[in-house]
Amino acid sequence: MNARTRSALPAARRVVVKIGSSSLTRPDGHLDLDALRALVDVLAARRAAGGEVVVVTSGAIAAGIGPAGLTSRPRDLATMQACAMLGQGELVARYSEAFARHGIRVGQALLTAEDTVRRARYRNAQRSLEKLLALGVVPVVNENDAVTVDELRFGDNDRLAALVSHLVRADAMVLLTDVDGLHDAPPSRPGARRIGHVEDLADVAGVEVTARGSAVGTGGMVTKLESVRIATSAGVPVVLTAAGRVADALAGRDVGTFFAAGGRRTTARRLWIAHAARPEGRLHLDAGAARAVLGGRASLLPAGITRVEGDFEAGDPVELVAPDGTGVARGLVAYGSGEIPTLQGRSTYELRAELGEGYDREVVHRDDLVLEGRNGLSSPTTAS
Ligand SMILES: Nc1ncnc2c1ncn2[C@@H]1O[C@H](COP(=O)(O)OP(=O)(O)O)[C@@H](O)[C@H]1O
Ligand SMILES: N[C@@H](CCC(=O)OP(=O)(O)O)C(=O)O
């Protein structure tokens, strides 16, 4: 399959299709059932033709508005979460009904950013989604809005869809929204034109995009391009188009924007560290440690740390900073911020002798490290 042209789409065996709130929500904020059924009809046809589909769907909040007794979409986090808790069951029930008309079953997967980061949870999600697909079931995925706290929320489903595409090793991803692809200016502006093909995201770096999208969506075009960056850098080509054009997009026709796949596949954990994680603190390195980390093969040991900034726990994302103050990498830290000052600047031999086994481990393991590359963050050369 050629992941650099639209011919990838009809030939793609496994496709992740993400539909945003803007396409599933009526102007009054409630769920648009006609739009949902129209999408399902197209996806069922794809299944009938032998393809596999994974749906990443927003709409829980929209589906919860009516049952919550509200008339419009809430804006504060707690009420949005309450609506999502009310609406998620409703949303999946609507997908179940719509797919059942084609004799297809659906299974619900509610994921958090953490599920794509922690190795055990990632593997677990991967195994269960793989099994669901092997059973011939269509996974219907959303963020687990009820339990995700603010800092760790995706908020939008765009980046979640890219990480799911990586998780299920999708051959292509389709992002559906309320505009037919990336335009050379925000589409509300007269004269804005669709961009049909993007070979390299650097080619559209100058295009004006806004984070504020439709009235109900989250993240606008900014999070969509971030999602595209994650997917294409993981080797997954993307079509971004309007929900009503999903059949054309899957058939490889000239709709929306096609983004060619770029990089090699990397681990989902590294993708998340590079593109989704928000550093909770900073570790300042001495020159030797900065060189070793930048070399791409070394873990960060306590001896190379000179100073700690921020308040974080073991497992949190942190930034690694060179002596001149520039960020050189990001990684998941193995100790909390309270522990590191007693370890920093000391050899692992010394720490093991004084504090015992366990205190001689890396502060950031190389498998959990992503370098600041020329075009944003990149993976070290080591495979994991
Ligand atoms: N350059 C651009 N090209 C296309 N759309 C853009 C651009 N800049 C901003 N947008 C906006 O992004 C919106 C889609 O994002 P969003 O509302 O978050 O949708 P969804 O709910 O589908 O995720 C569009 O309605 C559009 O107004
Ligand atoms: N998880 C939320 C969706 C959040 C959201 O609006 O995402 P998006 O439509 O991708 O901008 C829900 O189901 O309502």
* pLDDT of 257 strictly over 80: yes
Whether residue 218 is annotated as binding a ligand: the answer is yes
Query: Per residue in 328-339, pLDDT tens?
Result: 999 999 999 999
Buried b (16+ CB within 10 A) or exposed e, 78-90: ebbbbbbbbbbeb
User: CA-CA distance, 119 to 116, in Å (whole number)?
Assistant: 8
Specify the residue with its C-alpha closest to ligand 1, atom 27. Answer: 213
Range of weakest confidence among 46-55, 67-76, 100-109, 206-215: 206-215
**pTM, entire model:** 0.82
* Nearby residues of 298 by Cβ (< 8 Å), 6 or more positions away: 292, 366
Lowest mean pLDDT: which of 8-17, 43-52, 208-217, 302-311? Answer: 208-217
With contact defined as beta carbons under 8 Å apart, do 62 and 29 qualify?
yes
**Separation of CA 305 and ligand 1 centre (Å):** 42
Per-residue confidence (pLDDT) for residue 43, from 0 to 100: 98
R_g over Cα of the chain:
22
* Ligand 1 first shell, C-beta below 6 A: 20-23, 156, 177-179, 182-183, 185-188, 207-210, 213-214, 217-221
Residue nearest atom 20 in ligand 1 by C-alpha distance: 20
CA-88 nearest atom, ligand 2: 13
Provide the pLDDT confidence category of residue 263 given band limits of 50, 70 and 90.
low
- Residue 384: which pLDDT band, with cuts at 50, 70 and 90? very low
Q: Which atom of ligand 2 is nearest to the CA of 64?
A: 14
Counting Cβ atoms within 10 Å, is residue 4 exposed (0-12), middle (13-18) or buried (19+)? middle
Report which DSSP code applies to 68. T
pLDDT digits (tens, 9 = 90+) for 90-121: 999 999 999 999 999 999 999 987 777 666 77
67 vs 102, residue with greater confidence: 102
Q: What is the pLDDT of residues 186-215, one digit of tens each?
A: 998 999 999 999 999 999 999 998 887 677
Ligand 1 centroid, distance to 219 Cα (angstroms): 8
107 CB-contact burial (10 Å; exposed 0-12 / middle 13-18 / buried 19+): middle
Cα–Cα distance measured from residue 369 to residue 42, given in angstroms and rounded to the nearest whole number? 40
Residue 41 has which token pair? 């009809």
Contacts of 316 (CB under 8 A, 6+ apart): 280, 281, 332, 333
Has 219 been labeled as part of a binding site? Answer: yes
| Residue 1: predicted pLDDT | 64
- Summarised one tens digit per residue, pLDDT across range 151-197 is 556 768 998 999 899 889 999 999 999 999 999 999 989 999 999 99
Please report the pLDDT score of residue 374 as a whole number. 39
ipTM of this predicted structure: 0.94
Ligand 2 binding site (Cβ under 6 Å of any ligand atom): 20-21, 58-61, 84, 142-143, 145, 156-158, 217-219
> Which span out of 81-85, 115-119, 135-139, 234-238 was modeled with the highest average pLDDT?
135-139
Buried b (16+ CB within 10 A) or exposed e, 276-294: bbebbbbbbbbeebbebbb
Average pLDDT over every residue of 29-47: 95
pLDDT higher than threshold 60 for residue 266: yes
pLDDT in tens, 12-33: 999 999 999 889 988 888 899 9
User: What mean pLDDT comes out for the span 360-365?
Assistant: 88
pLDDT at 383: 31
Q: What is the pLDDT of residue 378?
A: 56
Percent of the chain exceeding pLDDT 70 equals 91
Length of the chain: 384
Task: Please provide the average confidence, as pLDDT, over all residues in the chain.
Answer: 89
What is the model's pLDDT at position 359? 75
Quote the pLDDT of residue 119: 66
How many Å lie between the centroid of ligand 2 and the Cα of residue 58? 4
Map out the domains of the chain with their CATH numbers: 8-272 (3.40.1160.10), 279-378 (2.30.130.10)
Rounded Cα distance between 18 and 249, Å, is: 13
